[in-house]
């Protein structure tokens, strides 16, 4: 047993901002190592091992996104009851359980197990975001958020080749056990090193109280503005992630060119996130957000004008993805700047639900018109983001008045 003095020192050390930031970045890194290759190879598993048709695979993926959206909406009262630490642990547990989908061959059980991936992603996103906005001092949020988001990408870059080797040599079952082992290690790190937050409710939240809380959160003007900003950018992003690789492949027939586009996107978007984070710390989030939304509008117009050319798809596609990634980093600063901390759980849950819905909307909208009028989705989604300028200016005007008061 530790002495009272040593116990106090241990608690102080666990509460240090640098340790909490390090744990969150570690969690994101491991999540990327597990989730990014797991999602990519899950599609192959459904096709090769279960023989499912593409439309059925799309339904399974959409089902997981819907599960994530519902879980995100429920995350507010869950966080109020359990605290953000245990929400994060719950998300990691759900993500680990989803890896069991690679060990069964039943068309019924595989989708049900995969639904845990959507729920786990939502809980991890909300729990991690709450910790992130609570441990960061003003003037440091931008870079911390940039590294936080980039850790997933770095984890994916490490995990993809490792997963490929494991599956090729030992099969999907071995990959499943490795993914679950990563989840167990991450859960232990979170349980041992993260301190519980003081956001517990005195009594269980009833279903009626839950819906009342969601409505109250959604009715707040600042929350609505952040939701609007998140929605506009994500619709454009969801459309680009589906259409650009398909159009490049259709235009050139070269998988190497599609891979080159993916590599260029990864490099430029990562740099854009770091630049956005640094700019937000130095000058505030409003200016870099305006620049990023301006880049999205330019990308949409440019893609519409050059949709039949390889250079246009490449240049403006990379620009649009980089701008969307920068906005994903700046979102944490928006919330920190204009929404009280007590309302962060419900706000982040709502934002993740909006992200899921917007991704589905963007991909479906693009899919409807890409074969008939390929320029239309890019132009419409790009021009739609002009509304973000007015939302952002109004949001920071309201936030300035609130801070002054």
Q: What pLDDT does 370 receive?
A: 66
Question: CATH number, domain at 363?
Answer: 1.20.1250.20
Q: What pLDDT does 389 receive?
A: 94
In-domain check, residue 84: yes
Helix count (H) and strand count (E) of the chain?
Answer: 15, 0
CA distance 27 to 183: 9
**Is residue 345 located within the same domain as residue 373?**
yes
**Is residue 53 located within the same domain as residue 23?**
yes
Task: Tell me the DSSP string of 375-405.
Answer: HHHHHHHHHHTTHHHHHHHHHHHHHHHHHH-
Q: Which residue has the tokens 């359990």?
A: 82
**Is residue 234 located within the same domain as residue 362?**
yes
In-domain check, residue 210: no
**Is residue 166 located within the same domain as residue 37?**
yes
Structure tokens at 21: 């930031």
Structure tokens at 365: 């909208």
Q: What pLDDT does 299 receive?
A: 96
Q: If you ran DSSP here, which 8-state letter would residue 137 be given?
A: P
Q: Rounded to a whole number, what is the distance in angstroms from the first to the last CA of the chain?
A: 49
Looking at the 3D structure of the chain, how many domains does it have?
2
CA distance 386 to 232: 9
Q: Is 196 left (phi over 0), alpha (psi -120 to 50) or beta?
A: beta
**Is residue 226 located within the same domain as residue 188?**
no
CA distance 86 to 200: 11
Q: Which residue has the tokens 């992003």?
A: 237
Q: How far is CA 214 from the centre of its chain?
A: 21
Is residue 49 a contact partner of residue 176, using CB atoms and an 8 Å limit?
Answer: no
In-domain check, residue 172: yes
- pLDDT per residue of the chain (405 residues) written in tens, 0 to 9: 556 665 555 555 555 666 788 888 999 999 988 988 887 778 778 877 888 775 677 678 778 888 888 888 787 777 777 888 889 999 999 999 999 999 988 888 888 999 999 899 889 988 888 888 777 554 566 778 888 888 888 888 788 788 888 888 888 899 999 999 999 999 999 998 887 655 444 445 555 555 566 667 777 888 889 999 999 999 999 888 778 877 887 788 776 777 678 778 878 888 898 899 889 888 888 999 999 999 999 999 999 998 889 999 999 999 999 999 999 989 988 988 888 877 777 788 888 888 888 888 887 777 677 667 878 889 999 999 999 999 999 998 887 655 554
In-domain check, residue 132: yes
Q: What's the number of CA atoms in the CB half-sphere (13 Å) around residue 298?
A: 14
Domain boundary among 178, 205, 232: 205
**Is residue 135 located within the same domain as residue 10?**
yes
Q: If you ran DSSP here, which 8-state letter would residue 371 be given?
A: T
Helices 310-338/255-283 angle, 10° precision: 30
Is residue 392 a contact partner of residue 233, using CB atoms and an 8 Å limit?
Answer: no
**Is residue 194 located within the same domain as residue 237?**
no
For 143, the domain range is 4-205
**Is residue 200 located within the same domain as residue 228?**
no
Domain boundary among 185, 205, 225: 205
**Is residue 223 located within the same domain as residue 117?**
no
**Is residue 301 located within the same domain as residue 370?**
yes
Q: What pLDDT does 60 receive?
A: 81
Q: H helices within 171-254, ranges in order?
A: 172-193, 207-219, 221-252
Q: What pLDDT does 134 receive?
A: 74
CA distance 186 to 117: 16
**Is residue 308 located within the same domain as residue 222?**
yes
In-domain check, residue 291: yes
Q: What pLDDT does 267 receive?
A: 84
Domain boundary among 172, 205, 238: 205
Spatial neighbors of 213 by CB under 8 A, at least 6 apart, are 76, 77, 205, 346
Q: What pLDDT does 265 receive?
A: 83
**Is residue 126 located within the same domain as residue 168?**
yes
In-domain check, residue 141: yes
Spatial neighbors of 105 by CB under 8 A, at least 6 apart, are 49, 50
């Amino acid at each position: 047993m530790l002495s009272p003095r040593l116990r106090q020192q241990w608690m102080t050390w666990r509460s240090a901002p640098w340790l909490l930031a390090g744990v969150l970045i570690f969690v994101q890194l491991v999540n990327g190592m597990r989730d990014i290759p797991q999602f990519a190879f899950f599609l192959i598993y459904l096709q090769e091992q279960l023989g499912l048709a593409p439309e059925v695979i799309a339904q399974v993926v959409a089902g997981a996104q819907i599960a994530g959206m519902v879980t995100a909406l429920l995350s507010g009262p869950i966080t109020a009851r359990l605290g953000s630490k245990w929400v994060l642990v719950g998300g990691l547990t759900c993500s680990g359980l989803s890896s069991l989908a690679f060990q069964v061959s039943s068309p019924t059980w595989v989708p049900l197990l995969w639904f845990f991936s959507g729920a786990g992603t939502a809980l991890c996103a909300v729990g991690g975001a709450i910790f992130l906005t609570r441990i960061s001092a003003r003037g440091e949020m931008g870079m911390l958020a940039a590294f936080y988001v980039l850790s997933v990408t770095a984890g994916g870059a490490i995990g993809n080749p490792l997963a490929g080797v494991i599956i090729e040599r030992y099969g999907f079952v071995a990959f499943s056990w490795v993914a679950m082992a990563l989840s167990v290690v991450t859960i232990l790190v979170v349980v041992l090193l993260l301190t519980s937050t003081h956001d517990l409710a005195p009594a269980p939240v009833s279903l009626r109280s839950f819906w009342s809380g969601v409505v109250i959160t959604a009715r707040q003007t600042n929350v609505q503005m952040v939701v609007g900003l998140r929605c506009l950018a994500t619709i454009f992003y969801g459309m680009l992630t589906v259409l650009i690789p398909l159009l490049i492949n259709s235009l050139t027939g070269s998988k190497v060119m599609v891979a080159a586009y993916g590599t260029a996107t990864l490099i430029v978007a990562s740099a854009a996130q770091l630049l956005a984070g640094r700019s937000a710390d130095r000058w505030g989030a409003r200016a870099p957000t305006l620049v990023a939304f301006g880049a999205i509008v330019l990308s949409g117009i440019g893609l519409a004008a050059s949709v039949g050319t390889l250079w246009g798809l490449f240049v403006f596609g990379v620009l649009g993805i980089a701008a969307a990634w920068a906005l994903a980093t700046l979102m944490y600063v928006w919330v920190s700047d204009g929404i009280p901390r007590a309302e962060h759980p419900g706000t982040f849950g709502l934002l993740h639900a909006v992200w899921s819905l917007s991704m589905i909307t963007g991909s479906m909208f693009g899919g409807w018109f890409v074969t008939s009028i390929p320029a239309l989705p890019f132009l419409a989604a790009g021009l739609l983001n002009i509304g973000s300028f007015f939302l952002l200016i109004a949001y920071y005007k309201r936030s300035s008045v609130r801070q002054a008061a």
